[in-house]
Amino acid sequence: MTGPQVIEEVEFAPSLGINLASMTRTSSGLYYEDIAMGSGDPAAAGNEVEVAYTGWLTDGTTFDSGAFSFVLGAGQVVRGFDEGVTGMRVGGIRRIIIPPALGYGSQGSGPVPPDAIMIFRIEVLSIG
């Protein structure tokens, strides 16, 4: 791979079911799609949010999954994850595509190679 992957140029594995045309692009370059809206107040900076998630690379490889809690907007997760969870509600499910600049960038991390796009399916379990 030479340079960061570009969301609009990469070929996503068919198993991921990605259709950029049906997703919303934010000003930062993150893409998201709500699968279920959830209910209650939306998650905002400073809230402790518990999520269940699965993360994939563009080739369909699962690199991580599980559940954890974090304080939204506190820098405890990559910027794209913070941005992607903001506004979600309990029971909400969202698919997000994080560009390298909002993920691990040129450093990569563990199974995520440098300059890689990450795709997540996130479900909000609770908002504190």
**3-state DSSP call for residue 102?**
helix
pLDDT at 128 over 80: yes
Extended strands (E) in the chain: 24-25, 31-36, 48-56, 62-71, 93-98, 118-127
Question: Domain 14-127, what fold?
Answer: Chitinase A; domain 3 (3.10.50)
Residue 109 in contact with residue 36, Cβ under 8 Å?
no
Query: What is the CA angle 81-82-83, rounded to 5?
Result: 90
pLDDT at 17 over 80: yes
Residue 36 in contact with residue 47, Cβ under 8 Å?
no
Residue 43 in contact with residue 86, Cβ under 8 Å?
yes
pLDDT at 88: 99
Cut 0.85: pTM above it: yes
pLDDT at 115: 97
Give me the residue spans of the domains in the chain: 14-127
* Mean per-residue pLDDT of the chain: 97
The percent of residues in the chain predicted with pLDDT above 90, rounded, is 98
Interval 56-113: pLDDT, tens? 999 999 999 999 999 999 999 999 999 999 999 999 999 999 999 999 999 999 999 9
